[in-house]
Amino acid sequence: MDSAVVFYSILLGAVLLRQWHTHQFRRIVDVRVAWATFFFGMMVNRGSFILADFYYAAEPMNTILTKLGYIGMILALSAFFYAIEEILPYDTKHLFFLAGLVHVLLAIAIPRVWLDLVAVSIALITLPGVMLFLNYTRKSTTGELKKNVERIVATFLVGYFGFVFASDMVYYSFGVPLYLVGEVLLVVGITGFGVGLIYTPTLDELDWMQQLVELYIIQEGGLLVYHHEFEENAEIDQVLTAAGISGVQSLFQEITRSDTGLNIVSVGDFSILFAHSLTFTSVLISRQPYTVLLAKLKEFTADFETMFGMIIQNFEGTLREFSSANELVSSIFESYQSGSSSN
């Protein structure tokens, strides 16, 4: 069972690194790298325990390998902490990640007989971190992504309890049966968790609410129909901005001879996402060109056309007719309304 954990950890870690390397917008500090580090840490953990239990029973190698196993496990959890703290909007100041690093130093410094206490301590820290992640994802995701995230958290918890049951403390206290159950749960949990991560490519987009800047609805011809600020920016002339965006889109359509319009344009630190209707274009300015944001923009465009399509066709410049669109913004882009204004 431990060998299976080592094998699947290597495989899943390598696949995640491959996904990161081939990603168009990869960063050095990336959630995929953190997940891959988690799996490589688990590889070190179970691999070291295999060597210590079956091949190097004599000292000092047995203690060295045992400590290496604990360090690998704690580094794996530290990578998990880093990943979820990058995703979560809570101001944790990476306390979970720093706690993991402190436990690494403890595992190196303290005598072997106290290592079980270090393992119990890091396990107790892990559970609230997972619960924070689960609570946030339930609120910030919908549809298939939400189901995938719930499966990922469920399999992580299966692996978490498997790891607890497959500890030396449980073995000496309750015997072989519970220990074997823990090993099985660990294999099931680690593989399910990894497969869930790999087949949920938008997992690193869970911070999409923090990327929102402005939303425009622009009628054909460049007239501003509706504007919403997710962040206040008093320096921008909304009407001129809408006309400028419309002009740029028309220019590129002319150059490319395309009838469909733009989809995504990157300008400096910002990305401009487009969704098109028969009578208007929705434009979302964000910090990252996330797939989930483009999908939400298309959903918003379809609903906006259903609600206001006839009004836009006869639009004469009275923005008050679209004030009820604020509720639509809130429902699709969640409750990211704090400190925002709309026109």
In this prediction, residue 291 carries a pLDDT of 79
Q: Can you give the pTM of this predicted structure? A: 0.69
Those residues of the chain that have pLDDT short of 70 are 24-29, 138, 140-143, 201-204, 233-239, 242-243, 246-262, 315-320, 334-343
Phi then psi dihedrals of residue 267, to 5 deg: -135, 110
Q: CB 296: neighbour CB atoms within 10 A?
A: 20
Give Cα 335 to chain centroid, integer Å. 18
Among 3.10.129.10, 3.30.450.70, 2.40.30.30, 3.30.2320.50, what is the CATH number of 208-342? 3.30.450.70
Nearest to 155 by CA among 198, 190, 201: 190
CA distance linking residue 163 with residue 170, whole number of Å: 10
- Architecture in CATH for domain 2-204: Up-down Bundle (1.20)
Identify the pLDDT of residue 177: 93
In this predicted structure, what is the pLDDT of residue 67? 93
Domain edges within the chain: 2-204, 208-342
Provide the token pair at 224: 């501003």
Q: Is 221 left (phi over 0), alpha (psi -120 to 50) or beta?
A: left
Q: Return the pLDDT at 307.
A: 84
> From CA 152, how far away is CA 38, in angstroms rounded?
14
The DSSP bridge partners found for residue 284 are: 215, 273
Predicted local distance difference test score (pLDDT) of residue 243: 67
pLDDT of residue 191: 93
pLDDT, residue 271, reads 86
> In terms of C-beta density within 10 A (0-12 exposed, 13-18 middle, 19 or more buried), how is residue 86 classed?
middle
